[in-house]
Structure 1
């Protein structure tokens, strides 16, 4: 994100306002450069000033106003005067038309005269710049999403017709032809526009099915003629550097795809199935920076507990949950907090999902003898302060991890358990003695991801006794007295609109339970007659809220629906 003011001018303003000293600003500037972030983002993240106050200061200095709009208020015809690719590239969105035929343009950098001149010449209208954050613009860009997807579908259908009328004799020739290239590009571009995390290309008896996973849910997008499947698969293999003549063995690869100014890392898995090869592509935005704990959805209380655990120079922090629950994202957020010049952070992962600046990341490679256990042994000779092990899968990795944490290293990893307390018996199963678990463990966080209500079509409603009973039954199942839980009085859901693809949901947020390993919890863990129920009771007395309780709070805040919370809790 561009900085709308030169750093020296911004420093003068902030120092003049008494927000920071010159030394503090210079330190923040270095931190922003180290994290590849905008200095304003770092100021907000470190709570030196809030976003609105900083925007007002910058806007005043530039002599412009702050853009004020919601997705609901945007006129789609006005927004679409500027094509989405140009809007994203220029970081600008038209959000209003004034009575005198002047069009208001929200911009990250209202002082960008070249862009203002470009807009004036292209649109043949007068424009007035307003200051906006990148978050404001991203919300505005959602207006493009649904219709853009329909356009991609039409393009794919046109390319399919062109491909079927071609003269290619071999898979290699077909993969090199423009129609197949266009189909592959459009499938990827439509997925990115739809905010998909995964693309599934599945060959059936009579067709090839394209499905996207959006906000954790798989949706059927389209089916294409089966005859084009070999050429499409070959095209993806070529992009990924895989063998196009290998059809009987699984293959893994990756490549980068760029749409306008957005670069996406694509992780590819090809697997032979009954009717042919199935392709799965995981989309990872390469420019995405790690989120803060608050941005992930943690309450202030849980975030403080996490920060307290990170202050320890040694010990273990475990993230728990099923596949796809956001464990790795949480571990990356923790590493980002700890990422400072004076510490050496090393990781062993499978795979490396995001490249983090100043962190030494290693991917396991069993064929080369690099497993979690062997890789962990090797990186202990790299003088690490902080270690992240992607997952503790076996007793050997568990044993080495515990020894590393006991010998002056802060080690973070993940386990597949349903909640925070059950991580303890899982470590016992991995042959870690109870006395070592109680000595080395600092904190356990369990989580799930729930879909967020689309704020463009959200509405409230009152619920009846049937749903009240469902909530009470779930609380009882968790051993939580109804009177001690905060149950929502009014519920919310989304009607479905173009911003969310008619689903009523847009984006995801985490629900968490954070188990702090207090002295009393340590005693329960180390007890030879270990009892899980006693641990759960002690955890609650120490202040732990279950994921269901955390979810209920997010329901009351209109962040998600009760149906979503119940769905992920019962998985």
Structure 2
């Protein structure tokens, strides 16, 4: 089999032939790196290190050089029975992952061509004919992390619990904690949640970027009219503002952005949260602690004795919290909170269903913001498309004018071939008026409120 130096040289020739590298640049590079160094590197690794070729192109060129097919693993699911055909230690040593078994032929994903001795060893081990395919190294890393993680999972779990200051010996009840880390110049928080299951303890980490809470209302995707309304009502001296939406729809981000907009040294702003996700300078934040009898309701009662100007309640979960929040909004405080409902009109009926009286809900509410997060098209590969009228009708857009332009993402390296990059919010803002207050007093349905709004 050719040496690593030979393969690197031949890859360099292909780079020159494809116009990705000049002949002089190639000669200068190979001449400046000792053979002893090249022999210790994987074929073509020097080109990756110097930024002369991307991983995608390097894998493709290796496939051309060795006449091997190239695959992506992002949409491949590997069955556990297939993985067990090759011992994990052997798979890790040679960076290979068994993919499919058709009759007696095993498709084997590799990051570089295997020598004959290794192929013979795998053939004996599996009693199969081996059909190698090339994959990117990042795909191999992903596969090893996804499919071979169990061996080190228990150690990782204990390490995460230790970093989150949880009880590592307690595996029979759920626990919550947080880890603070710094990556480069970014300060990140990891929310840690553990849950006992029949197969062992399940750990979920939620990544929170502290810098994201310094957002401005202007960059959250509100329309100009909605933005003006939110800013105007956020300056009101008293009343209740609700943000609704499912879990993970950005409700906390919207509330924090509102606080950033209205906060000043003269204002006494107090929050009660479960838990405190982000630490905000200049704001008094109270974490819920049920062991110490600090709930949303008990904390709210104490906060009202602290002469607050603005109160943020992480979530209205029960009638007691809802009643106190409405009473606070009626007695000279601006109260911001969240509800888990599908849209803004449903929030009104949800409050009534919780047992909060209409005579508290109707006069206290200022507005309700309903929101969702949606993916945004990658700007690097966006292209215009003209969907058929049938497609538009299926989406409920049959009345869209024919001159409206639609876009989609083709998929590129910038977005990982997905066609999407980033997210933005879509919102509805329901502002209270006398008619809505009368509908609340009459306990109107969500559909009736939605139809009016």
Q: Which residue of 2 aligns with 1:340?
A: 264
Q: In the aligned structure 2, how far is the partner of 1:220 from the partner of 1:333?
A: 39
Instruction: Determine whether 1:491 maps to 2:406.
Output: yes
Give CA-to-partner distance per residue, 1:65-111, whole Å, 9 cap, x none.
xxxxxxxxxxxxxxxxxxxxxxxxxxxxxxxxxxxxxxxxxxxxxxx
Quick one: which of 415, 419, 422 aligns to 2:346?
Answer: 422
Partner residue of 1:514? 429
Q: Distance in 1 between matches of 2:226 and 2:167?
A: 47
**Which portions of structure 1, spanning 4 or more consecutive aligned residues, are displaced by more than 6 angstroms?**
485-488
Unaligned runs of 5+ in 2: 1-50, 59-72, 74-87, 94-142
State the alpha-carbon separation in 1 of the partners of residues 193 and 229 from structure 2. Answer: 38
Q: Distance in 2 between matches of 1:490 and 1:362?
A: 48
| Residues 360 and 299 of structure 1: CA distance in aligned 2, closer, same or farther (over 3 Å) | same
1:399/1:220 CA distance change after superposition, 3 Å: farther
| Whole-angstrom CA distance in 1 between matches of 2:395 and 2:164 | 47
Rg: which structure is higher? 2
Measured in 1, the distance between the counterparts of 2:359 and 2:403 equals 41
Corresponding residue for residue 399 of structure 1: 323
What does the per-residue CA deviation read over 1:308-350, in whole Å, with 9 as the maximum and x for residues that have no partner? 2112110100111111111111111111111111111100011
Secondary structure at the counterpart of residue 317 of structure 2: coil
Structure-2 change in CA distance of 1:537 and 1:226 (3 Å): closer
- CA distance in 2 between counterparts of 1:335 and 1:486 reads 39
1:530 partnered with 2:423: no
Shift of 1:286: 2.3
Which residue number in structure 2 is paired with residue 16 of structure 1? none
Does residue 261 of the first structure (1) align with residue 176 of the second (2)? no
Q: Deviations over 1:203-250 (max 9, x none)?
A: xxxxxxxxxxxxxxxx99622242211111122122222222222222
From the superposition, tell whether residues 335 and 494 of structure 1 become closer, same or farther in structure 2 (CA, over 3 Å): same
- 1:346 is paired with a residue whose SS is strand
Q: Distance in 2 between matches of 1:334 and 1:487?
A: 38
Q: Deviations over 1:145-183 (max 9, x none)?
A: x969x9xx9xxxxxx969x99xxxxxxxxxxxxxxxxxx
Give the distance between the partners of 1:408 and 1:147, measured in 2 at CA: 60
Distance 1:488 1:365 in 2: 56
1:257-316 deviation digits (Å, cap 9, x = unpaired): 222222211111122222222111111122334322221100100001111211211010
Q: 1:51 matched to which residue of 2?
A: none
SS at 1:266's partner residue? strand
Q: Which of 315, 332, 335 is the aligned partner of 1:411?
A: 335
Alpha carbons of structure 1 residues 378 and 449: separation in structure 2 relative to 1, 3 Å:
same
**Contact map agreement 2:373 2:423 (CA 8 A) in 1:** yes
Name 2:226's counterpart in structure 1.
302
Structure 2 distance, partners of 1:464, 1:487, is 10
Residue 439 of structure 1: SS of its match in structure 2?
helix
Deviation at 1:424, TM superposition (A): 0.9
Query: 1:327–1:221: structure 2 CA closer, same or farther, 3 Å change rule?
Result: farther
Q: Is the 8 A contact 2:243 2:339 kept in 1?
A: yes
Distance 1:280 1:466 in 2: 42
Q: Distance in 2 between matches of 1:259 and 1:436?
A: 47
Indicate conservation of the 8 Å contact 1:463/1:490, yes or no.
no
Instruction: Trace 1:107-186 onto structure 2 (pairs within 5 A).
Output: none
Is this contact kept in 2: 1:290–1:329, CA < 8 A?
A: no
In 2, the alpha carbon distance for the partners of 1:376 and 1:321 equals: 23
* DSSP 3-state at the match of 1:279: strand
CA spacing shift, 1:403–1:517, aligned 2, 3 Å:
same
Gaps of 5+ in 1: 1-142, 154-159, 166-218, 476-481, 540-571
Residue 443 and residue 529 in structure 1: after superposition, are their counterparts in 2 closer, same or farther (change >3 A)?
A: closer
How far apart, CA to CA, are the structure 2 residues paired with 1:487 and 1:445?
Answer: 31
2:275 is equivalent to residue 361 of structure 1: no
Query: How far apart in 2 are the matches of 1:432 and 1:422?
Result: 14
| 1:450 alignment partner, one of 374, 377, 380 | 374
Query: In 2 relative to 1, CA 305–220 (structure 1 residues): closer, same or farther, beyond 3 Å?
Result: farther
Matched pairs, number: 324
